[in-house]
Structure 1
Amino acid sequence: MSVLSFTQLHPITLHSHAHFSPSPFPMSILRRLNLNLPNHRLRRRFATISAAVRQDTTVWTPAPLSQIEPAAESLFHVTIDVSDAPDLATSHTRAGQYLQLKVANSPKPSFLAIASAPKLAISRGVFEFLVKSVAGSTAEALCALKKGDVVEITQAMGNGFDISRIDPPEKFGTVLVFATGSGISPIRSLIESGFGANKRSDVRVYYGARNLQRMAYQDRFKAWESSGVKIVPVLSQPDNTWTGESGFVQAAFKRAKEISSPLSTGAILCGQKEMAEEVTSILVADGVSAEKILKNF
């Protein structure tokens, strides 16, 4: 996952008729306000200071790593033990959710999609991730840790994939799934938590990677296919022995198409922004409803 950081600001709206309690700001801050400013500029300055001094309410919980091992080139399997934090385990309710993670001495948190099915957190007390190590990032620092090292994480967040929009399976027989790189991690969560693939007539996963060395979860493909999911690996830079699909996943899908009934077709996307935009355009142009194209953000 790419590494992001942000501070959530919630500016307040001030009205000229509002009644204020004693100021929460130190006098040293208030003295720096230019009280000769026009009212609207004064209100804006006051709101900015209010946002700046408000504390971050994110709750961080320490948790140890129970496993960390290579998953593919530049990708790592990471398992975090949350058995002592039931609130964390129960916060993961839907495939496609993510959380924030911090590593000691790394200033920026990383946003990581949860790769394991929600039921795994309840039954085994773990979260599993597929992490791409990017130079200079919190993800790189995470991938350099070892079993037993402690990180800090938040509860699961986000709406995940709202599968109810493409249910019941009998009505939406075709589901097309597109993932690139580490974007396969929430797709793994989806497949292994079950979304009625065996009750649908055509479920395809177009999974793009540079080459087979960078393609994670190959050891799970057989089990996924036994659950009713067809895996279509797509390599953008394959070697001379590769006989499967090549190029980008959107191009591979465009060559295949094979949408028998657009009105009974759903799609699930996770990965590069350009891929998601191009696939969405292709699907909508072919008659697939935009409301049936699911993303986890």
Structure 2
Amino acid sequence: PLTKGTCAVHARACTHFAPSGLRRALPGFPRRKYRRHTSHTPSWVACAWGDPVDFHAASIASSSECAKGLTEVEVDAPTDIVDGFCASGQYVQMKVNPEDEKVAYLAIASAPASSPLKFVIKPGDNTAGEICALNAGDSVQISAAMGKGFQPEESAKT
């Protein structure tokens, strides 16, 4: 519960609260000792998952429907992007325009370190749909391969 009182830090009225879980667990615990102070200054918080992603220019090699509702897109990517693709299960981020903020996260369907990179995409009303609508020679922005991927288990020898 919130309590109002004079704050020893600011020497003015502040809002403090006690951890309600402690208060319920220990009916006689000293509330003032465990109160936390809240700031009166508004602040902005920015959250991020990790480092900014670097995108590189690439071009569409081909785009065709490979099954009902699925499009196979082949991308001629820079050599360093292809060389960074070393395990099945890795993915890239791709977008059509450098200014776009929304990206498509696409699993790489081709064999590691092979060129061009192949993707099987389900088109929709999103960035993936925009990529599927591109023709051979159109440009895209692609990130380096991400994720640990996995090593396929060897087949049992008979």
Shorter-chain TM-score range: 0.5 to 0.7
Query: How far off is 1:119 after superposition?
Result: 3.4
| TM-score of the superposed pair, with normalisation by structure 2 | 0.66
Structure 2 SS opposite 1:119: coil
Residue 127 of structure 1: aligned partner: 117
Compare the two structures and name the one with the higher strand fraction: 2
Query: Residue by residue, what CA displacement relative to the aligned partner does 1:25-55 show, whole Å, maximum 9, x if unpaired?
Result: xxxxxxxxxxx68866479936x15x58xx9
Gaps of 5+ in 2: 1-9, 15-35
Give the Cα–Cα distance (whole angstroms) in 2 for the partners of residues 42 and 148 of structure 1.
56
Query: How far off is 1:86 after superposition?
Result: 2.1
Residue 24 of structure 2: aligned partner: none
Residue 97 of structure 1: aligned partner: 90
Bigger Rg, structure 1 or 2: 2
- Whichever residue aligns with residue 130 of structure 2, its letter is A
Query: How far off is 1:159 after superposition?
Result: 1.3
8 A Cα contact 2:84 2:113, kept in partner: no
1:58 aligned onto 2:53: yes
The list of structure 1 runs, each at least 4 consecutive aligned residues, that deviate by more than 2 angstroms after superposition, is 36-46, 104-107
Compare the two structures and name the one with the higher helix fraction: 1
1:113 aligned onto 2:104: no
Identity within the alignment, %: 31
Residue 161 of structure 1: aligned partner: 150
Alpha carbons of structure 1 residues 88 and 41: separation in structure 2 relative to 1, 3 Å? farther
- Whichever residue aligns with residue 139 of structure 2, its letter is V
Query: How far off is 1:74 after superposition?
Result: 1.4
Alpha carbons of structure 1 residues 41 and 91: separation in structure 2 relative to 1, 3 Å? farther
Give the Cα–Cα distance (whole angstroms) in 1 for the partners of residues 101 and 73 of structure 2.
20
Give the Cα–Cα distance (whole angstroms) in 1 for the partners of residues 112 and 94 of structure 2.
18
Give the Cα–Cα distance (whole angstroms) in 1 for the partners of residues 132 and 75 of structure 2.
12
Residue 152 of structure 1: aligned partner: 141
User: Aligned-pair RMSD on alpha carbons?
Assistant: 3.0
Residue 140 of structure 1: aligned partner: 129
Gaps of 5+ in 1: 1-35, 164-194, 202-297
Residue 62 of structure 2: aligned partner: 67
Give the Cα–Cα distance (whole angstroms) in 1 for the partners of residues 79 and 42 of structure 2.
42
| TM-score of the superposed pair, with normalisation by structure 1 | 0.37
8 A Cα contact 2:89 2:150, kept in partner: yes
* Structure with bigger RCO (C-alpha 8 Å, 6+ apart): 2
